[in-house]
Amino acid sequence: MPTLEFEGNTFNVDEDGFIDDFNNWNEDWVKYVKTTEGIEELTDEHWKVITVVQDYYKKNGIAPMVRILSKVTGFKLKYIYELFPSGPGKGACKMAGLPKPTGCV
């Protein structure tokens, strides 16, 4: 598993750039992922999505369905793509430190 250094942190990531363990997440990770996921400026709205995703994951052990993410944040899917150009899975979940989405993607 490749490791990468960012602002004094060491992160273990897989080939898709997902972090190895949710517990190793910190705010610097978000700043790092920003550089690869086509995000110019991190806003409160980015953080809102990240927090919702993380809270849901801590409580339920899975990522929220897109519909639930939209409902809880109040952001339509289109707007989530404006915030995270790779979308809720590759963009937001990666940033939030969740495990990589699986299934027939």
Partner 1 sequence: MAFEPNEPQEKIKYDEMRIYSDEELNNYTEEELKNFKTKHDTPMCDDLESGPWPSFVADAKREALHRRKLADDRILLSAETVEDTLGQLEDSFVDGETHWKHGGIVGVFGYGGGVIGRYSDLQEKYPAVAHFHTLRVNQPMSKFYNTDFLRTICDLWEYRGSGMMNMHGSTGDIILLGTTTEQLEPIFYQMTHEMQQDLGGSGSNLRSPSCCLGRARCEWSCIDTQDMCYELTHYYQDELHRPAFPYKFKFKFDGCPNGCVASIARSDMSFIGTWKDDIRIDQDAVQAYIAGDIAPNGGAHAGKDWGKFDIQKEVINLCPTACMWMEDGKLMIDNKECTRCMHCINTMPQALRPGADTGVSILFGAKAPILEGAQMAVLTVPFMKCEPPYENIKDLVEKVWDWWMEEGKNRERLGELIQRWGLPKFLEVIGLPPMPQMVTEPRSNPYIFWKAEEVPGGFKRNIEDYRVKHMR
Q: Residue numbers of the site for partner 1 (CB under 8 A)?
A: 15-16, 18, 38, 62, 65-67, 77-78, 81, 85-90, 94, 100-105
1, 35, 104, 105: the catalytic one is 104
Q: How far is the CB of 97 from partner 1 (least distance, A)?
A: 14
Helix, strand or coil for residue 26? coil
Between 4 and 62, name the residue whose CB sits nearer to partner 1: 62
Tokens encoding 70:
């939209």
Q: How far is the CB of 70 from partner 1 (least distance, A)?
A: 8
For residue 20, the SS3 value is: coil
Pairing relation of β-strands 9-12 and 3-6?
A: antiparallel
Q: How far apart are CA 23 and CA 12, in angstroms?
A: 12
Is residue 104 flagged as an active site residue?
yes
Among residues 14 and 55, whose Cβ is nearest to partner 1? 14
3-state DSSP assignment of residue 101: coil
| Smallest separation (angstroms) from partner 1 to the CB of 8 | 27
